[in-house]
């Protein structure tokens, strides 16, 4: 079965076979030699083709948050079947253009610069969030209309909490 693993800027594909109690990972017709040993706390010692790595794996929703070699990657892993199912679901959905802007961080709403119903241009400041003494400005991702504002000034918001619903302007 094919496994797809996508980082923000790269896509990787691995072929896997189950053989007795082992799982073989095939790349370019060769089985990759590996040894991944859990060390606890989400840490793994991975030896892959003699190369040695310490890898941190934390799974959140559909995404693996991976730390390796001092670097960080969010990795989305899907197998063939799941990917096909998703594609089918996607193509059957009607195209809705509403986008929800969620809080990228937990914080305090210090300023709301827009009102529901207004039209804003890409890059315009929508909301100012404060956390750890720094202000974070949330900007319009593209030209759009404000459909709904779900918070008010001085609200404390959680990460991923809905802030604003937009409809893109065509």
Partner 1 sequence: MFKKILIANRGEIAVRIMRTCQEMDITTAAVFSEVDRKSPFVYYADEAYPLGGITSQESYLKWEKIIGIAKEYGAEAIHPGYGFLSENADFAEAVFAEGLTFIGPPADAIRVMGNKTEARKLMIANGIPTVPGTEDAIKDKDKARQTARKIGYPILIKAAAGGGGKGMRLVEDDGQFFEAIEGAAREAKAAFNDSTVYIEKFVEEPRHIEFQILADSKGNVIHLGERECSIQRRHQKVIEESPSSLLTNELRAKMGKAAVQAAKVCGYRSAGTIEFLVDKNLNFYFLEMNTRLQVEHPVTEMVSGLDLVKEQILIAAGKSMTSLKSLDDFWGHAIECRLYAENPDNNFAPSPGEILFLKSADGPGIREDSGVTQGSEISLYYDPMISKLIAWGSDRRQAIMRMLRALREYEILGIHTTIPFLIRVLEHPLFQKGKFTTKFIEENREQLFVENINTAEVASFAAALDQINEKSKISIYNNHKNNKHGSSWKLIHRQQSLRKK
Task: Please give the residues from 109 up to 138 whose contact with partner 1 meets the rule CB under 8 A.
Answer: 110-111, 125, 128, 130-136
Q: Of residues 9, 30, 90, 154, which one binds partner 1 by CB under 8 A?
A: 9
Euclidean distance between CA atoms 130 and 157, whole angstroms: 10
Q: Report the first-to-last Cα separation within the chain, whole angstroms.
A: 41
Both tokens assigned to 110: 């210090």
Cβ neighbours, 10 Å, residue 157 = 20
Of the ranges 24-32, 92-100, 147-155, 162-170, which one interacts with partner 1 (CB under 8 A)? 24-32
CB of 80 to partner 1, least distance (A): 12
Size of the site for partner 1 (CB under 8 A): 72
Closest of 100, 151, 148 to residue 127, by C-alpha:
151
CB of 157 to partner 1, least distance (A): 10
Euclidean distance between CA atoms 152 and 93, whole angstroms: 32
Q: In the complex with partner 1, which residue's Cβ is closer, 58 or 169?
A: 58
Residues 26-85 binding partner 1 (CB under 8 A) are 32-48, 50-59, 64, 66-75, 77, 79
Residues 79-108 binding partner 1 (CB under 8 A) are 79, 104-108
Both tokens assigned to 164: 């604003």
């Amino acid at each position: 079965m094919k496994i797809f693993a996508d980082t923000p800027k790269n896509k990787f594909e691995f072929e896997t076979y189950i053989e007795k109690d082992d799982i073989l990972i095939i790349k370019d017709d060769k089985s990759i030699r590996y040894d991944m040993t859990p060390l606890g706390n989400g840490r793994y010692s991975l030896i892959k083709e003699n190369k040695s790595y310490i890898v941190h794996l934390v799974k959140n929703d559909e995404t693996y948050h991976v730390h390796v070699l001092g670097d960080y990657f969010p990795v989305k892993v899907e197998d063939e079947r799941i990917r096909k199912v998703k594609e089918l679901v996607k193509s059957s959905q009607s195209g809705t253009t509403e986008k929800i802007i969620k809080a990228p961080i937990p914080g305090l709403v210090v300023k709301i610069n827009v009102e529901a119903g207004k039209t804003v241009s890409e890059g315009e400041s929508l909301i100012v969030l404060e956390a750890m003494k720094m202000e974070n400005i949330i900007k319009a991702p593209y030209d759009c209309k404000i459909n709904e504002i779900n918070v008010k000034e001085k609200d404390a918001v959680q990460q991923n909490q809905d802030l604003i619903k937009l409809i893109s302007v065509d």
